[in-house]
Chains A and B, each alone.
Chain A
Amino acid sequence: MNKIVVMIIDEQPFFRAGVRQALSEESGFEILDCDPT
Chain B
Amino acid sequence: MIEANLPNIVLLGSDLGTHSGLELGGRIARYYPNTKVIMLSPNPNDEELFEVIKTAAVACLSKNVNTPELVNTIKRACGGEYPINETVMNRPRIAGRVLEQFQNISTIGKPMETVITPLTNRETQIMRYIADGNTNKEIGRVLGISEQTIKSHVSAILRKLNANDRAHAVALAIRSSWITPEGTTQEICQ
Q: A residues engaging B (CB < 8 A)? A: 4-12, 15-16, 19, 22-23, 25-26, 29, 32, 34, 36
Cα(A10)–Cα(B78), bound, Å: 21
Q: Enumerate 15 A-B pairs (CB-CB under 8 Å) in ascending A order.
A: A5-B8, A6-B10, A6-B11, A6-B74, A7-B5, A8-B11, A8-B13, A9-B10, A9-B13, A11-B13, A15-B63, A23-B67, A29-B74, A36-B20, A36-B24
Partner of A26, one of B13, B24, B40, B67: B67
Q: Please name the 4 residue pairs, one residue from A and one from B, whose CB atoms are nearest each other, closest first.
A: A10-B13, A7-B7, A5-B7, A22-B67
Asked whether B116 is an interface residue with its Cβ less than 8 Å from the other chain, the reply is no
Asked whether B125 is an interface residue with its Cβ less than 8 Å from the other chain, the reply is no
The total number of A-B Cβ pairs within 8 Å is 61
Which chain A positions have C-beta within 8 A of B8?
4-6
Known: A22-B70, A25-B67, A36-B24. A4 touches B13 (CB 8 A): no
Which chain A positions have C-beta within 8 A of B63?
15
Cα(A5)–Cα(B20), bound, Å: 23
Asked whether B94 is an interface residue with its Cβ less than 8 Å from the other chain, the reply is no
Chain B interface category by residue count: 20 to 34
Asked whether B163 is an interface residue with its Cβ less than 8 Å from the other chain, the reply is no
Minimum C-beta distance from A16 to chain B (A): 8
Minimum C-beta distance from B62 to chain A (A): 12
Asked whether B189 is an interface residue with its Cβ less than 8 Å from the other chain, the reply is no
Cα(A11)–Cα(B24), bound, Å: 13
1/0 contact string of B134-178 vs chain A (CB within 8 Å): 000000000000000000000000000000000000000000000
Known: A32-B5, A36-B24. A7 touches B10 (CB 8 A): yes
Chain B residues numbered 70-88 whose CB sits less than 8 Å from any CB in chain A: 70-71, 74-75, 78
